[in-house]
Structure 1
Amino acid sequence: MESIIFSNNIAEDLKSYLGQLHFSQLGVITDSHTAIHCLPVIEGSLPANTKKFSFPAGEANKNLETCVHIWQWMTDEGFDRKSLIINLGGGVTGDMGGFCAATYKRGVSFINIPTSLLSMVDASVGGKLGIDFNGFKNHIGVFTQPDAVIISDFFLKTLPERELRSGYAEALKHGLIRNSNYFHSLKIEGWQTQSWREIIEKSISIKKEVVEKDPKESSLRKILNFGHTIGHAFESFYLDSERHLLHGEAIAIGMICEAYLSYIKCGLHRGEMEEIVGAIQSVYGLIEIPQEDIEDIMMLCYQDKKNERGTLNFSLLRHLGNCDYNIAVNLDEIRASIQYYQTLK
């Protein structure tokens, strides 16, 4: 597993960490937002000859074309296999920067410094790297662990509230699948005002415990995908449209739909389903889903990586805090779950 470092002073801790390493060259990958808001925080901790690469922010740029630019930059700057890459940014930067590092010359070392709540509570653990491909979410990728992940909640101050709320969906999910007490401890009213450091540490501990038991997602790790089969379908469908959803916003839709599927397929108590749906709806509200979009969204569920031999496999809740995996669901049931979402007010 990767080494996770919780930092109280990111500039000092990064400088100390880098001082212990031996690398031939150092590169930093940012997006256009973190280049402005986050890079200046650590710039004084970096060697003078550090190379920098920035790409336009947004999930729409998490693709092969951007990877080509990153690989070309690494090639032009003469990076060798003893080089080190720092990925400074949210989930897009960590996923794509890590993927490029893991594949350049068959792999160079990299560390991640997550700057969004989403990347801190979710992408920081587990070594999943990759990019979207032809509209399919995380379609191309590898499992490779970073040398370290350095987490500082200082960077949360740079986030718009919508981005903070997006990351909160993954914290809610961690409670739903593994720890009901944690779920009940998370604020719904006034969710913005809580101890983010405590939430980050608790969510990471839950995800780490699951990933250590199943690093390559052959069994238990699939529970971390609760809400993601349908959620990723919504995220992919609206990716390049005016109705674009952030990851957590799409997963919120997915968790409501999959809570309903848990009720009809896995015996989740109706009261628990309504509690889950009420909490998610209070934080994320509801979006209007045009009827003409539903069939195309449903078909995107076939791209989910949990599927086997054409069977749509879901991770669903038995109880609040108890999730099971490889639950076969058919298109009629998915359609019914989206229709249930549409009935909510």
Structure 2
Amino acid sequence: MESIQANGYVVHFNENGYEALNKHLQEKKYSNIFIIVDSHTNEFCLPRFLPLIETELAIEIIEFDAGESFKNIETCVSIWNVLTELGADRKTLVLNLGGGVVTDLGGFVSSTFKRGIDFINIPTTLLSMVDASVGGKTGVDLGNLKNQIGVINVPIMVLIDTSYLETLPQNEMRSGLAEMLKHGLIYDKTEWEKFLDLKSIDFADFDTFIYRSVAIKNEIVIQDPTEQNIRKALNFGHTLGHAIESYFLENENKTTLLHGEAIAVGMILESYISWQKKLISLDEFVQIKETIKAIFDDIIFEKNDLAPILELLIHDKKNEYGTIQFALIDGIGKIKINQEVENELINKAFKDYKS
């Protein structure tokens, strides 16, 4: 597949990625290489990745525990300390091998260590390939609040090798599918319609779906790198989805949700709001709701869950001047940003989701 030119870097696919990486290592005079992994990618992905790197430079592996709960500043501090102890300098290269937690956190660690060193992302989950691979967002959570601390800083390149998807369980694949569905809903109606009948999809050719999803996000980000305007479209499903994800993460009585599972709920809720605001038709809303519910299990919400979820909306990064900002669908394939939504309508959306 042809590489995609992003804003200041290139996204390479499969064999082309390793060729580009090795060529870069030959041309750039790095002092050493650090590979950041979590406990999962250290076991399942690193053994494939290491033999494909052609370099005589010293390589050190830094591992942290897998999971969203470790995407925090404490993990960053421990990695900064390891980098320092093992002699990382301004000419060090960091390779982030993992899902969105690894690439977000590893990108932030690299962007802030000695005021910034080069890093390359190698996403290994479907979610990180179609979402975290593009846009330059790096960062960590603040307590249970998603991605509150971070910077926008692009990698040297991104290498997407879809063979890593063979290491994923089905729920992780579904999690990534949520972002792919979102890209169709906000930008490309034809792409959305390809997912209406999953049985008809040729998963042997799934690389083309991944490629199109990356291209969609890239087309949006290039227009608005710092999220002042159209890039806000990518937040569809995330205003409520992130609040739900944060609430389930902090509540010991709840099972922690994968990012895509929470976003799937958010997209249904925010599609309902779009319908109530007359931005989409009832038929379009029903199609969205039924398609997503056919892929994702229902999440159970108790009556006393809603108030703390709404409370978490106050901390959403997209808020401006104290008001909660939504990106809503304005017909499938189009978006309307900076939409204010009252709590009563949000409560109605949750009631509809449970029906």
**3-state DSSP of counterpart to 2:151:** strand
What is residue 276 of structure 1 aligned with on the other side? 288
What is residue 310 of structure 1 aligned with on the other side? 322
User: Contact 2:35–2:61 (CA<8 Å) still a contact in 1?
Assistant: yes
What is residue 227 of structure 2 aligned with on the other side? 217
What is residue 265 of structure 1 aligned with on the other side? 277
Name the aligned partner's letter for residue 61 of structure 1: F
Q: Distance in 1 between matches of 2:330 and 2:249?
A: 31
User: Contact 1:25–1:83 (CA<8 Å) still a contact in 2?
Assistant: yes
Instruction: Please give the residue correspondences for 1:282-293 in structure 2 after superposition, counting only pairs within 5 Å.
Output: 282-293=294-305
Name the aligned partner's letter for residue 269 of structure 2: C
Q: CA deviation at 1:186?
A: 2.4
Q: Percent identity?
A: 43
Q: Distance in 1 between matches of 2:79 and 2:196?
A: 40
**3-state DSSP of counterpart to 1:33:** helix
Q: Distance in 1 between matches of 2:332 and 2:240?
A: 19
Task: Work out which of the residue numbers 85, 88, 101 in structure 1 matches 2:97.
Answer: 88
Matched, 1:23 2:35: no
**3-state DSSP of counterpart to 2:101:** helix
After superposition, the C-alpha distances for 1:124-177 in whole angstroms (9 at most, x for unaligned) are 000000100011000101000000001110100011111011000000000000
Task: Work out which of the residue numbers 141, 153, 160 in structure 2 matches 1:151.
Answer: 160
Q: Distance in 2 between matches of 1:49 and 1:188?
A: 49
Deviates more, 1:40-49 or 1:20-29: 40-49
Matched, 1:300 2:312: yes
Q: CA deviation at 1:310?
A: 1.4
Name the aligned partner's letter for residue 279 of structure 1: T
User: Contact 1:298–1:335 (CA<8 Å) still a contact in 2?
Assistant: no
**3-state DSSP of counterpart to 1:336:** helix
What is residue 334 of structure 2 aligned with on the other side? 322
List runs of 5+ in structure 1 lacking aligned partners: none
After superposition, the C-alpha distances for 1:293-330 in whole angstroms (9 at most, x for unaligned) are 11101111111111111111100011010111000112
Name the aligned partner's letter for residue 213 of structure 1: Q
Q: CA deviation at 1:43?
A: 1.2
User: Contact 1:266–1:316 (CA<8 Å) still a contact in 2?
Assistant: no
Task: Work out which of the residue numbers 174, 181, 189 in structure 2 matches 1:172.
Answer: 181
Q: CA deviation at 1:9?
A: 6.8
Task: Work out which of the residue numbers 38, 41, 54 in structure 1 matches 2:45.
Answer: 38
What is residue 336 of structure 1 aligned with on the other side? 348
Instruction: Please give the residue correspondences for 1:186-225 in structure 2 after superposition, counting only pairs within 5 Å.
Output: 186=195, 188-190=197-199, 194=203, 195-225=205-235
Q: TM-score, normalised by structure 2?
A: 0.93
Q: Distance in 2 between matches of 1:49 and 1:238?
A: 41
Q: CA deviation at 1:20?
A: 2.9
Task: Work out which of the residue numbers 84, 105, 108 in structure 2 matches 1:75.
Answer: 84
Q: CA deviation at 1:285?
A: 2.5
What is residue 3 of structure 2 aligned with on the other side? none
User: Contact 2:236–2:327 (CA<8 Å) still a contact in 1?
Assistant: yes
User: Contact 1:7–1:151 (CA<8 Å) still a contact in 2?
Assistant: yes
**3-state DSSP of counterpart to 2:31:** coil
What is residue 183 of structure 1 aligned with on the other side? 192
Task: Work out the number of aligned pairs and report it.
Answer: 343
Q: Distance in 2 between matches of 1:218 and 1:47?
A: 43
What is residue 7 of structure 1 aligned with on the other side? 14
Deviates more, 1:3-12 or 1:174-183: 3-12
Task: Work out which of the residue numbers 131, 143, 147 in structure 2 matches 1:134.
Answer: 143
What is residue 117 of structure 1 aligned with on the other side? 126
Q: Distance in 2 between matches of 1:254 and 1:307?
A: 17
Name the aligned partner's letter for residue 257 of structure 1: L
What is residue 106 of structure 1 aligned with on the other side? 115
Give the 3 Å change call, closer, same or farther, for CA 191–127 of structure 1 in structure 2: farther
**3-state DSSP of counterpart to 1:129:** coil
Give the 3 Å change call, closer, same or farther, for CA 225–134 of structure 1 in structure 2: same
Name the aligned partner's letter for residue 284 of structure 1: F
Deviates more, 1:257-266 or 1:37-46: 37-46
Name the aligned partner's letter for residue 180 of structure 1: K
**3-state DSSP of counterpart to 1:128:** coil
**3-state DSSP of counterpart to 1:145:** coil
Q: Distance in 2 between matches of 1:236 and 1:210?
A: 26
After superposition, the C-alpha distances for 1:96-135 in whole angstroms (9 at most, x for unaligned) are 0000000001100000000000000011000000100011
Name the aligned partner's letter for residue 316 of structure 1: L
Name the aligned partner's letter for residue 212 of structure 2: K
Name the aligned partner's letter for residue 65 of structure 1: E
